[in-house]
Amino acid sequence: MPKQSTLATTESVDDYLKAILELGGAEASQVTTNALAGRLGIRTPSVTGMLQKLALQRPSLVVYEKHRGVRLTAAGKRRAWELVRHHRLLELFLHDVLKYSWDEVHEEAERLEHFISERFEDRVAAILGDPEIDPHGHVIPQKYEAGVLRDEVPLARWPLGTPATISSVSDRSAAALRELERLGLMPGVALTVERRNAAGSHSIRLGAHTEPIRVSSDLAACVLVAAPVTALS
Amino acid sequence: MPKQSTLATTESVDDYLKAILELGGAEASQVTTNALAGRLGIRTPSVTGMLQKLALQRPSLVVYEKHRGVRLTAAGKRRAWELVRHHRLLELFLHDVLKYSWDEVHEEAERLEHFISERFEDRVAAILGDPEIDPHGHVIPQKYEAGVLRDEVPLARWPLGTPATISSVSDRSAAALRELERLGLMPGVALTVERRNAAGSHSIRLGAHTEPIRVSSDLAACVLVAAPVTALS
DNA sequence: AGCCAATATTAGGCATACCTAATATTACAT
DNA sequence: ATGTAATATTAGGTATGCCTAATATTGGCT
C-alpha cells in the first residue's frame, strides 16, 4: 500500500497548503505572506502566525523563512496534491454525475474537498472511470502522486499567428467561466491569436471560423494554451 | 419560495440540534444534559455551556430550562430536520450511486451532511428520483418539512405470534447492520416473533421460512416493525 | 547613504468549542 | 425529614483561527 499522508489537518491548514502549492507554481518558488493573505482573503498577521505554527510542527508541512517566504515540505506537498486531486475529482463528479454547470462546480468542490474520505474518493474515481482531466482541462493527479506539469502557457504569451489549442482554463471565477463558454473558449478548442492591442485585448480566430472574436485581457488571463496535438503524437 | 432556515450554524451546533431532535422523539420531550453528553461524546459542562449559549441567541434555536432539559424551537426543528433530510439523502446516494454497502454510509453521511449546499441536495434528490426512504428504511423528510411519524414500534414490544414487517433499522452501528444483513433482517421483510426468553433474546420466523432464527436483545433493539401492509391499503 | 512605502512581524484580543475541578441541585430511598 | 448518589452548573483553562494596532524590516528610488 503506497504511503499516504497520515497527519490530520484542519480545513484552514488544508487551504494554506493548497494556496502555497498553487502560488509556488512549477518551480515551487517561495510564497510570500502577502500573496497568501490575498489568495486566502485574510490579514497578514494571521498568515504569519499560521506559517510559524506549521513550521514548528513535526513532521513539518512547510519550511518558513521570516520575511523571505514559505515552501512546502514533502509531507506538505503530498497533502496539497491530495486536496487538488479531491477538488478536481469532485468538480468532474459534480459536472458529469450531478449535472452542475462548469461555472458552479468550483465553490462546492472547494468546500467538500476537505471532508470526503478515501473511500468516497475511490468510489467517485471508479464511477468516473479514473479520469485524467477535470471540466476545466486541469490534470487530475494520480492517487498518492504529485501533479504532472504540461507544456501550457498563458494565452497572453502565445505568438501571434501560431495555431494553438486551449489546454485549460481557470476555475476561480464563475463569471469568467460563463463568458468563456459563451465565446466558445473551452479546453480542446483550436485557435489562433491574430492581434493584441496595447490594453491587452486579444483578437482571436477560433477553429474554422473566419471572423475573429474580441477577448479582454482579464478573460485571456484565464486561458492556458499549448501547441496542437498532431495526429502522430 | 418556502421560507427556510437562514441562520448560519456551525457543525457543532448542527450536531446538538440533531441530537435533541432524535433524543426528544415523537413527543419532543425535554432532553437532559446527560443524555446529550452521552449521545455527542462530550462532557456535561460543555453541553451546559453550549445550551446556554444557544438559548441566548436571537432567533433562538432551543428553549433551555436549567436542570430540567432542553427542547428545540421551531427554527431549531427546521434546521434539525434539514440535517436529517441531508443525512438520509446522502446515505441513499452513497448506497445507490457510489455503491457503498449499507453499513458504510452512516459515518460518511454524518460528516458530509453539514457541508452540502441546497444545490447539491436538490441534484442528489433529482438523481435519486425524490426518494421517500433511505437504505435503513427511514423516511426522508420532504424539503422544508418536518419528518413524518410512522406507526412503528421496537421489535422487543411486538406481540408474540403476530405477523409484522420490518419498518426500519438503526444506522448507528455498522457491526449491527452487518449482522442484520447476514440474518436477513432488513426493511420490508415479514416476520413473526415466536418466543422471547428472560435475557431478551428473540426467536423469530422470517417470511415463509419454517425454522426460526435467534436474535439477541441488542440486535433486536435496532429493529422497528409495523403491521404488514395489506393489499388494500 | 538616506528616505519612504510596502511588506511583515509582534503583541494583545475575540469567538468558538471543548476540557477539568469544584460546587450546587435534584430525586430517590429510607 | 434526611441522606446520598447522580445529575448539572459554575469557574477557570486550553487550542484553534482569525482580528487590529503598533512596530520592525525590506527593497527600491533618489
Partner residue facing A115 (CB), from B97, B112, B127? B112
Assign A149 a pLDDT band (cuts: 50, 70, 90). Answer: confident
Assign B231 a pLDDT band (cuts: 50, 70, 90). Answer: low
Residue B4 has which C-alpha cell?
A: 427556510
Instruction: Collect all residues from A whose CB is shorter than 8 A from any CB in B.
Output: 94, 97-100, 104, 108, 111-112, 115-117, 119-120, 123-124, 127
Identify all chain B residues contacting A120, using CB atoms and an 8 Å cutoff.
94, 98, 108
Q: What percent of chain B has pLDDT over 70?
A: 95
Q: What percent of chain A has pLDDT over 70?
A: 95
pLDDT score at A30: 94
Alpha-carbon span A169 to A155, nearest angstrom? 10
- 3-state DSSP call for residue B34? helix
In a mutational test of the A interface, the residue from B107, B123, B127 whose CB has the highest number of chain A CBs within 10 Å is B123
Closest-CA residue of A relative to B95 is A123
Identify all chain A residues contacting B99, using CB atoms and an 8 Å cutoff.
123
Q: Is residue B10 predicted with pLDDT exceeding 70?
A: yes
Alpha-carbon span B164 to A170, nearest angstrom? 58
The answer to whether A48 CB is within 7 Å of strand C is: yes
pLDDT in tens, A212-223: 999 999 899 999
CA distances to A186, B40, B64, B86, B133 from B18, rounded to whole Å, are 44, 10, 16, 11, 19
Q: Is residue B1 predicted with pLDDT exceeding 80?
A: no
Q: What is the DSSP letter of A57?
A: S
Residue with cell 421551531: B74
Written as one string, the DSSP assignment of A87-107 is HHHHHHHHHHTS---TTTHHH
Q: Strands A213-215 and A69-72, how do they pair?
A: unpaired
pLDDT in tens, A153-175: 999 999 999 999 999 999 999 99
Contacts with A119 (C-beta within 8 Å, 6 or more apart), sequence order: B100, B104, B108
The answer to whether B62 CB is within 7 Å of strand C is: no
What domains lie within chain B, and their CATH numbers?
Answer: 11-76 (1.10.10.10), 153-226 (2.30.30.90)
pLDDT score at A88: 97
Instruction: Collect all residues from B whose CB is shorter than 8 A from any CB in A.
Output: 94, 97-100, 104, 108, 111-112, 115-117, 119-120, 123-124, 127
Identify all chain B residues contacting A124, using CB atoms and an 8 Å cutoff.
98
Alpha-carbon span A124 to A193, nearest angstrom? 38
CA/C1' separation B72–D8 (Å): 20
pLDDT score at B6: 52
pLDDT in tens, A10-36: 999 999 999 999 999 888 899 999 999
Work out the angle between the directed axes of helices B44-56 and B33-40 (0-180°, nearest 10): 110
Yes or no: say if B206 and B194 are a contact pair by the CB < 8 Å rule.
no
Total CB pairs under 8 A between chain A and B? 40
Q: How far is CA A116 from the centre of its chain?
A: 19
Cis upstream peptide for A2 (omega within 30°): no
Mean pLDDT within A76-95: 96
Q: Given CA atoms B75, B78, B82, B83 in this order, what sign does their dihedral have?
A: positive
